[in-house]
Amino acid sequence: MNEFIHQLSTGLVLGCVYASLALALVMIHQTTGLVNFAQGEMAMASTYLAWTLVAHGMPYWPAFALTVALSFVAGMGIERVLIRRFDGAPAHAVIIVMIGLMILIDGLVGWIFGYDVRTVDSPFEKTAWLAAGPLSAHEAGIGLVTLLLMALVFAFFRFTRLGLAMRAAALTPLSSRLVGINVGLMLALGWGIAAAIGAVSGMLTAPIVYLDPNMMLNVIIYAFAGALLGGITNPWGAVVGGLAIGVAENLAGAYLVGTDLKLVFVLAVIVAVLTIRPQGLFGRRLVTRV
Amino acid sequence: MSAVFAPSGDAGATAPQAAPAPSPLLEICGLQAWYGGVQVLFGIDLEVAPGGITALLGANGAGKTTTLRAISHVLATRRGTIRFDGRDLLRLAAQDIVRLGVTHVPDGRGTFAQLSVEENLQLGGYTLRSRADVAQRIEAVYAMFPKLATRRWQQAGTLSGGEQQMVAIGRALMPRPRLILLDEPSFGLAPLVVRDIFETLRGIVADSGVSVLLVEQNVNLALDLADRAALIDVGRVVVSGRAADLRRDDTVRQVYLGY
Amino acid sequence: MTITSSIHPDARVLAPAAPARGGSAALALPALLILAGAAATFLFSGYQLLLAANIVAYAIAILGLNLLAGYNGQISLGHGAFLAIGGYATAILMSRFGVPYWLAVPLCGLVTMVVGFLVAIPALRLEMLYLALATFALAVAVPQLAKNKLVSGWTGGVDGLSLPRIRPWSALGLDVDQTVYVYTLLVAIVAFALVVNLLRGRVGRALEAIRDHPVAAETMAIDVRFFKTAAFGVSAFLTGTAGGLGAIATAFVSPDSYAFFLSITLMVGAVVGGFRSVYGALFGGAFIVLMPNYAERLSQGAPWAIYGACTILVMLVMPSGLAGLVRAAIDRWRTRAR
Contacts of C300 in chain A (CB under 8 A): 110-111, 114-115
Task: Tell me what pLDDT residue A133 has.
Answer: 66
Instruction: For Cα atoms A38, A40, A46, give the angle at the middle one, nearest 5 degrees.
Output: 105
Q: For C268-286, b where at least 16 C-beta lie within 10 A, e where not — what string?
A: bbbbbbbbbbbbbbbbbbb
**How confident is the model at residue A285, as a pLDDT?**
67
CB B106 within 8 A of CB B213: no
How confident is the model at residue A213, as a pLDDT? 87
Among C137, C3, C153, which residue's Cα sits nearest to residue A170?
C3
- Neighboring chain B residues of A175 at a CB cutoff of 8 Å: 106, 110-112, 123
Interface touch B126/A165, C-beta < 8 Å = yes
Among A90, A275, A95, A289, smallest CA distance to C211 is for A90
Average pLDDT of chain C to the nearest whole number: 83
How much is the pLDDT for A30? 87
State the Cα–Cα distance between residues C287 and C306, nearest whole angstrom. Answer: 11
**Contact A284/B119, CB-based, under 8 Å?**
no
Helix (H) or strand (E) holding C280: helix C280-295
Tell me how close the Cα of C46 comes to any Cα of chain A, in angstroms: 30
A141-150, C146-155, C303-312, range with the lowest pLDDT: C146-155
d(CA B236, CA B231): 8
Q: Does the distance separating the beta carbons of A179 and B124 come in below 8 Å? A: yes
Search chain A and give the residue with CA nearest B108.
Answer: A175
Contacts of C281 (CB under 8 A, 6+ apart): C59, C60, C62, C63, C66, C192, C269, C270, C273, C274
The pLDDT score that the predictor gives to residue B256 is: 62
Segment C48-53 shows an average pLDDT of 86
Distance between CA atoms of residues B186 and B215, nearest Å = 10
DSSP C278: T
Does residue C141 form part of some domain?
yes
Separation between Cα atoms, residue C213 and residue C211, nearest integer Å: 6
Structural domain containing residue C222: 26-258
Q: Do B103 and A178 touch (CB under 8 A)?
A: yes
| ipTM (interface pTM) | 0.87
**Taken in order A253, A254, A255, A259, is the CA torsion positive or negative?**
positive
Provide the CATH topology of domain B23-101+179-184+213-259: Rossmann fold (3.40.50)
Which candidate, C242, C265, C227, C215, places its Cα nearest to that of C71? C227
**CB-count exposure of residue A289 (10 Å: 0-12, 13-18, 19+):** exposed
Q: What is the pLDDT at residue A288?
A: 45
- Dist. CA B38–CA C102, nearest whole Å: 58
Most distant CA pair in chain C, distance: 66
Q: Which residues of chain A have pLDDT under 70?
A: 125-134, 257-259, 285-290
pLDDT tens track for B203-235? 999 888 899 999 988 888 888 889 999 888 888
Are B64 and B232 within 8 A, CB to CB?
yes
Residues of C in contact with A175 (CB under 8 A): none
B177 touches A at CB < 8 Å = no
> Given CA atoms A87, A89, A94, A100 in this order, what sign does their dihedral have?
negative
Compute the distance between CA of residue B98 and CA of residue A176 in angstroms, rounded to an integer.
11
Tell me how crowded residue A148 is: count the other CB atoms within 10 A of its CB: 12
Neighbouring residues of A125: CB distance < 8 A, sequence distance ≥ 6: A137, A138
Q: Chain C residue closest to A175 (CA)?
A: C1
Handedness of CA A223, A228, A229, A235 (dihedral sign): positive
Query: What whole-number distance in Å separates Cα of residue B16 and Cα of residue B116?
Result: 49
Q: How confident is the model at residue B258 (pLDDT cuts 50, 70, 90)?
A: low
Residue B213 phi, psi dihedral angles, 5° rounding: -110, 110
Q: Give C-chain residues touching A183 at CB under 8 angstroms.
A: 1
Buried b (16+ CB within 10 A) or exposed e, B84-114: bbeeebeebebbbbbebbbbbbbbebbbbbb
> Strand pairing partners for C252?
C162
Residues in A closer than 8 angstroms to C1, CB to CB, are: 32-34, 87, 169-170, 173, 183, 187
Using pLDDT thresholds of 50, 70 and 90, give the confidence band for residue C144: confident
Residue of A nearest to B175 (CA): A179
Chains sharing 3 or more CB pairs under 8 A with chain C: A
Beta strands in chain B (DSSP E): 3-4, 26-35, 38-48, 52-58, 77-84, 87-88, 102-105, 179-183, 211-215, 228-233, 236-242
Over the stretch A54-110, which tens digit does the pLDDT of each residue have? Answer: 989 888 889 999 999 999 999 999 999 999 999 878 888 999 999 999 999 999 999
Residues of B in contact with A285 (CB under 8 A): none
State the nearest Cα–Cα gap between B170 and chain A, in angstroms.
12
Q: How confident is the model at residue B9 (pLDDT cuts 50, 70, 90)?
A: very low
Q: State how beta strands B179-183 and B211-215 pair.
A: parallel
Q: Which residues of A touch B94 (CB under 8 A)?
A: 177-178, 180
Residue C175's pLDDT band, with cuts at 50, 70 and 90, is confident
How many C-beta atoms lie closer than 10 Å to residue A250's C-beta? 22
DSSP string, A122-183: -GGGTTGGG-BTTB-HHHHHHHHHHHHHHHHHHHHHHH-HHHHHHHHHHH-HHHHHHTT--H
pLDDT tens track for B134-157: 999 999 999 999 989 999 999 998
A/B interface, count of CB pairs below 8 Å: 63
The CA distance from C207 to the nearest CA of chain A, in Å, is: 16
Chain A interface disruption, residue of B107, B112, B167, B179, most A CBs within 10 A: B112
Size of interface A-C (CB pairs under 8 A): 179
Q: B129 by DSSP, 3-state: which? A: coil
**Closest approach of chain B CAs to the CA of A174, in angstroms?**
7
pLDDT, position C101: 84
Between CA C272 and CA C295 the distance in angstroms is: 16
Per-residue confidence (pLDDT) for residue C332, from 0 to 100: 87
Of A91, A115, A263, nearest to C128 by CB-CB distance is A91
Q: Which residues contact A52 (CB under 8 A, 6 or more apart)?
A: none
Domain count, chain C: 1
Touching subunits for chain A (3+ Cβ pairs under 8 A): B, C
- Nearest Cβ partner for A172 among B104, B112, B175: B112
Q: Residue B130 contacts by C-beta under 8 Å, 6 or more apart in sequence?
A: none
What separation in angstroms does the CA of B229 have from each of B3, B30, B45, B55, B126? 12, 18, 12, 4, 31
Distance in angstroms (rounded) separating the CA atoms of residues C229 and C120? 6
Neighbouring residues of C95: CB distance < 8 A, sequence distance ≥ 6: C161, C162, C163, C164
- Alpha-carbon distance of A270 to A277, in angstroms, equals 10
Of B115, B126, B171, Cβ closest to residue A181: B126
Determine the angle formed by the axes of helices C260-274 and A91-113, rounding to 10 degrees. 120
The torsion region of residue C156 among left (phi > 0), alpha (psi -120 to 50) and beta comes to: left
Which residues from chain A sit within 8 angstroms of residue B141, using beta carbons? none
Kindly compute the dihedral angle of the four CA atoms of residues C90, C96, C101, C105, in this order, to the nearest 10 degrees. Answer: -20
DSSP assignments along C16-54, one per residue: PPPPPPSTHHHHHHHHHHHHHHHHHHHH--THHHHHHHH
pLDDT of residue B236 exceeding 60, the answer is: yes
Residue B69 touches partner A, C-beta closer than 8 Å: no
Q: Does B112 touch chain A (CB under 8 A)?
A: yes
Which residue does chain B place closest to A180, by CA atoms? Answer: B95
> Does C54 score more than 60 pLDDT?
yes
One-letter amino acid for residue C295 of the chain? A
Instruction: Report the alpha-carbon distance of residue C209 to residue C71 in Å, rounded.
Output: 9
User: What residues of chain A have any CB closer than 8 angstroms to a CB in chain B?
Assistant: 161, 164-165, 167-168, 171-172, 174-182, 284, 286
Residues in B closer than 8 angstroms to A172, CB to CB, are 110, 112-113
pLDDT for position B166: 93
pLDDT 10s digits, C207-225: 888 888 878 887 887 788 8
How far apart CA B31 and CA B81 sit, in angstroms, is 6
**Cβ-nearest to A172 among B93, B110, B122:** B110
Min Cα separation B123/chain A (Å): 7
> What residue spans of A35-90 are helical by DSSP H?
39-55, 60-81
- pLDDT for A107: 93
Chain C: closest CA distance from residue A282 (Å): 17
Look at residue A47 in the predicted model and tell me its pLDDT. Answer: 94
Q: Provide the 3-class DSSP secondary structure of residue B189.
A: coil
Min CA distance, A128 vs chain C (Å)?
36
- Residues of chain B with Cβ-Cβ distance to A164 below 8 Å are 115, 119, 122-123
Looking at the partner chain, which of A95, A187, A260 has a beta carbon nearest the beta carbon of C1?
A187
Q: Do residue A105 and residue C298 have CB atoms under 8 angstroms apart?
A: no
Residues 6+ apart with CB under 8 A from B74: A174, A177, A178, B94, B104, B106
Position C23 scores a pLDDT of: 43
Mean pLDDT over C319-329 rounds to 87
Q: What is the pLDDT of residue A127?
A: 64
Q: Is B106 on the interface with A (CB under 8 A)?
A: yes
Domain extents for chain B?
23-101+179-184+213-259
Pick the closest to residue C252 from C114, C90, C104 (CA basis).
C90
Calpha distance A200→A43 (Å, rounded): 8
Please give, rounded to a whole number of angstroms, the shortest distance from the CA of C123 to a CA of chain A. Answer: 8
Q: What is the DSSP letter of C259?
A: -
The beta strands (E) that lie in chain C are given as 161-162, 252-253
Chain C residues whose beta carbon lies within 8 Å of the beta carbon of residue A186: none
Give the pLDDT of residue B100: 92
Residue B153: its pLDDT value, please?
A: 92
Q: Which of C73-82, C93-102, C249-258 has the largest mean confidence?
A: C73-82
pLDDT value for C42: 77
Domains of chain A plus CATH, in order, are: 2-276 (1.10.3470)
Q: Is C271 a domain residue?
A: no
Q: Closest chain A residue to B176 measured between Cα atoms?
A: A179
B73, B107, B123: which to substitute to probe chain A, counting the most A Cβ within 10 Å? B123
Cβ-defined contact of A171 to B112 (cutoff 8 Å): yes
Q: Which of C4, C129, C306 sits opposite A35 (nearest CB)?
A: C129
| DSSP 3-state of B213 | strand
Task: Report the neighbours of B using a cutoff of 3 or more CB pairs below 8 angstroms.
Answer: A
Can you give the pLDDT at residue C19? 44
Neighbouring-strand partners of residue B212: B53, B180
Q: What is the mean pLDDT of residues C4-33?
A: 51
Are A164 and B119 inside 8 Å of each other by CB?
A: yes
Q: Are strands B179-183 and B77-84 parallel, antiparallel or unpaired?
A: unpaired
pLDDT > 90 fraction of chain C, expressed in percent and rounded: 30
Degrees to nearest 5, angle at CA C158 with C153 and C164: 70
Strand partners, B230: B56, B240
Segment among A253-262, A271-280, B15-24, B46-55 with least mean pLDDT: B15-24
What's the rounded Cα separation, in Å, for the pair B31 and B38?
Answer: 15
Q: Output the pLDDT for position B76.
A: 65
Chain B contacts of A179, Cβ < 8 Å?
98, 103, 123-124, 126-127, 171, 174
